[in-house]
Amino acid sequence: MLFLVAAGLQLVFGVQKILNLACGSFYALGAYAGVSAVRWALGAGLPAPLFFPVLLGAGLILALLGPVVERLLRPIYDRDESFQLLLTFALVLMFEDVIRFFWGTAPHQLGNVYLTYGRLRVGGLTVPTYNLVVIACGAAIAAGMGWFLSRTRFGRVLRATAENREMAEAMAIDMTRVYARVFTLGMALGTVGGALVIPATAAVNEMGIELIVEAFAVVVIGGLGSMRGAFVGALIVGVVKAVAIATWPEVEMLAIYVIVIAVLVLRPTGLFARAIA
Amino acid sequence: MRLTRRRFLKLSGAGVVATALPLDAAPARAQSGPVRLGILAAKAGVLAPVGESGLRGVQFATDRINAAGGILGRKLELIVEEESSPKDTVERFRKLALSDKVDAVSGAISTGVGLALGPAAEEMKTIWLAWDATTQKGVEESMPKPKYSFRSTDNECEAVMASLLTARHWKGKFKTVAGINPDYSYGRDNWAAFLAIMKKHGIELQVVSELWPKLGATDFTSHVATLAQAKPDLVFSCFWAGDTPIFMKQAHAAGLTKSTKFVLTTGGGVHESLKKDFTPEGAILGYNCFYFENPKASALAKEFTRWHQEKFKEWPNYESDHGYFTVVALKAAVERAAKAGGGRWPSQDAIIQALEGVEAESLSGPRRYREDHIMEATFFQGLTTHRNRYDFVTVDPLESMSTKQIQKPSGVGLYDWINGWKV
């Protein structure tokens, strides 16, 4: 999940050079939309095992708002990063209010669809099958993104833009359209991530902000703008957290930031810092 | 505008007068027109649902009071501001006191905010009636003898009650325990209180895991995996927000709810999200001071529950009751002071004096402020059941305890008090 959001952040940064704090809000929006969509679908008589495509669909449809949000961000493309952080943080606050307006402040969740696919026993531990489905889905998206960026025409355009925007523009690439599309793609990664996580958790107002912090840790570790970095960074953060909780719970948060600091000191560009690779 | 020497002198003179004024005089308050009550309600983040709930209770009280002619004939008017970080909330408290010239301020939930508001209330000489935000540690450390602050019940009450119920129901039936509590004063204090009470009751236990997720965390899969490895007989948690259903859901998915006993001291704050699908029967669940389906509920409580359900499509929780009580207690104190003072609108000092020991009918029955400005109320907990008409768990039978039993008395340390119990 973290990977999806971090990947969205990376993509947008890599191509548009925008640090988008609002990626956390996309995640929260995706979660809330996922809850509503599945509730509606189950209410309309959809068999429970089909909730997964509904969640995916909810995330993707929500991402259609991407071009609208992107339009809001356009004035700050060429300004200082601090303006970008301010504006996208303002978006975070606004989206939080939008969520409160439509869904209220109480936590929202989907009762037991989480266990629709049953549980598996893995090495003495009971794991809901859904977790494995999500992991598989995340891996598939990672592979899909890799293929898309390296093999398709649009992927090549994106990488070219990330490398050298002026040159790409000189090659008659319409930047306005590229930006709108790439932003929408980044947003879709966030909303789908939020929608997929919801069966295992509950949608709460603060989930967006909660995630941004971790996504930034992932990005710092992996290197800003790198897809592979997002993947490895998310893995590192996830594993370190789990190990810390199992062995020494007091240092759960600390452990991640120790790694962040180590990366910043030893390899300030991050482990995989290059343009979208 | 050019700053001439004369103008500079004038300005600085005015500044000196302005800063000197609040030092020896409380802000002037109106003696007629509406009574102005400032509200500090959280609207964002983890605290938002609780802030919202408190505000609903205040609104319900205000509507009723105004419909019945107000306080001594003066209508009650609310000026709602937001509770956020301690620093910003203190700023808003100042604004309410100085610019809105409120008669009193009601609100605040976060312990951190409460610790900052206490001194601010004393400095601004403005009555502050807290909804929550009360830890006895904080009271001891920063405000031994407050004049203007009236605090809530202690944070630790629900842990004390849940621990007493644990001892009563499960003594001898568990050995290994694990705690998963939010990593701030509330979580730490409640866990420590639980362990102290277990020891006092002669229950020998082995702590197999102590987990401290950050307040507001939304993923507990790693914590649950650790708990599954540690295999505790009993899990103690004072989660009170959206973290409660998330944790229970993930614990259930990992098979933890089958045989483990759960003590959820404060989960009743989000009771509607504790679905039967993943919340087991027979867990100890605390509702703080208000249980929406209390079979012995007063007509007032029933009316409130109905109003709340019709208006918000939700069953109410405890914070509404805290909010409600602060308003009716203020009204009762004003009337008490006026009676003593010959029917005129009382001075602020007279109101404060009348608030000490004042008793008023809250949504959960009679409540009062102790002479040391701490609330006295009744707490509700019980063992969860699935036998009800909802899709979430309720408790049956409902058990209640007064803060006379589960809250430390004035002037004693929390752990000294627990250690002094006769068990």
Model pLDDT for residues B40-83, shown as the tens digit of each residue: 999 877 888 899 999 999 999 999 999 999 999 999 999 999 99
The model's confidence at residue B13, banded by pLDDT at 50, 70 and 90, is: low
pLDDT at res. B12: 54
How many CB pairs below 8 Å do chains A and B form together?
Answer: 114
B214/A109 Cβ within 8 A = no
| Contacts (Cβ under 8 Å, ≥6 apart) of B102 | B36, B37, B38, B79, B96, B126
Dihedral-angle region of residue B344 (phi above 0 means left; psi in -120 to 50 means alpha; beta otherwise)? beta
CA distances from A246 to A239, A251, B260, B279 (A): 11, 10, 19, 24
Whether B407 contacts chain A with CB within 8 A:
no
Of A126-135, B97-106, B253-262, B362-371, which gets the smallest average pLDDT?
A126-135
Of B144-153, B312-321, B362-371, which gets the smallest average pLDDT?
B144-153
- B contacts of A197 (beta carbons < 8 Å): 219
Other Cβ atoms within 10 Å of A39 Cβ, number: 17
pLDDT at res. B26: 53
Q: Among A100, A113, A119, A126, which would you mutate to test the B interface (most chain B Cβ atoms within 10 Å of its Cβ)?
A: A126
How far is the C-alpha of A144 from the C-alpha of A127, rounded, in Å? 26
The model's confidence at residue B317, banded by pLDDT at 50, 70 and 90, is: very high
Kindly state the average pLDDT of the residues B300-306.
96
Which of A262, A190, A162, A183 shows the shortest CA–CA distance to A23? A190
pLDDT at res. B274: 93
- Domain assignment present for A225: no
CATH superfamily of B35-153+299-376: Response regulator (3.40.50.2300)
DSSP for B46-63?
GGHHHHHHHHHHHHHHHH
Kindly state the average pLDDT of the residues B318-342.
95
B44/A125 Cβ within 8 A = no
pLDDT exceeds 50 at position B16: no
Kindly report the average pLDDT of chain B as a whole number. Answer: 89
pLDDT at res. B251: 94
pLDDT exceeds 70 at position A267: yes
In the block, residue with structure tokens 């203190």: B90
pLDDT at res. B1: 45
* pLDDT tens digits for range A213-241: 888 888 888 887 777 888 888 888 888 88
Other Cβ atoms within 10 Å of B63 Cβ, number: 12
A125/B253 Cβ within 8 A = no
pLDDT exceeds 90 at position B316: yes
Half-sphere exposure of B166 (CA within 13 A, CB side): 33
Domain coordinates of chain B in residue numbers?
35-153+299-376, 157-288+379-419
In the block, residue with structure tokens 């007493």: B164
pLDDT exceeds 60 at position B120: yes
How far is the C-alpha of B52 from the C-alpha of B240, rounded, in Å? 15
Å from B83 to nearest chain A CA? Answer: 15
Which of B123, B136, B124, B36 shows the shortest CA–CA distance to B81? B36
Other Cβ atoms within 10 Å of A149 Cβ, number: 19
* pLDDT tens digits for range A80-103: 888 888 898 899 989 988 998 898
Tokens representing A164 are 């050298």
Tokens representing B318 are 């405890």
Tokens representing A190 are 């966030």
pLDDT higher at A212 or A11? A212
How far is the C-alpha of A35 from the C-alpha of A46, rounded, in Å? 14
Order the strands of the B375-376 sheet from edge to edge. Answer: B359-362, B365-369, B375-376
Q: Is the peptide bond before B119 cis (omega within 30 degrees of 0)?
A: no
| Contacts (Cβ under 8 Å, ≥6 apart) of B324 | B57, B58, B60, B61, B304, B362, B363
pLDDT at res. A276: 43
pLDDT at res. A165: 81
Helix (H, G, I), strand (E, B) or coil at A45: coil
Q: Which CATH class is domain B157-288+379-419?
A: alpha beta
B52/A205 Cβ within 8 A = no
| Contacts (Cβ under 8 Å, ≥6 apart) of A10 | A219, A222, A224, A225, A226, A227, A229, A230, A276
Number of domains composing chain A: 1
The model's confidence at residue B6, banded by pLDDT at 50, 70 and 90, is: low
pLDDT exceeds 80 at position B27: no
Residue in B213, B254, B270 closest to A107 by CB? B270
Kindly state the average pLDDT of the residues A47-69.
89
pLDDT at res. B18: 46
How far is the C-alpha of B245 from the C-alpha of B266, rounded, in Å? 12
Highest mean pLDDT: which range of A43-57, A76-90, A107-121, B258-272: B258-272
Residue in A109, A128, A241 closest to B222 by CB? A241
How far is the C-alpha of A234 from the C-alpha of A139, rounded, in Å? 12
pLDDT at res. A277: 41
B210/A119 Cβ within 8 A = no
Å from B229 to nearest chain A CA? Answer: 8
Å from A252 to nearest chain B CA? Answer: 8
The model's confidence at residue B17, banded by pLDDT at 50, 70 and 90, is: very low
Kindly state the average pLDDT of the residues A66-73.
88
pLDDT exceeds 50 at position B266: yes
B46/A249 Cβ within 8 A = no
pLDDT at res. B201: 94
pLDDT at res. B180: 96
* pLDDT tens digits for range B371-392: 999 999 999 999 999 999 999 9
DSSP for A105-136?
SS-B--TTGGGTT-EEEETTEEEEHHHHHHHH
pLDDT exceeds 70 at position B328: yes
Domain that holds residue A15: 2-205
Whether B314 contacts chain A with CB within 8 A:
yes
- Domain assignment present for A251: no
pLDDT at res. A124: 72
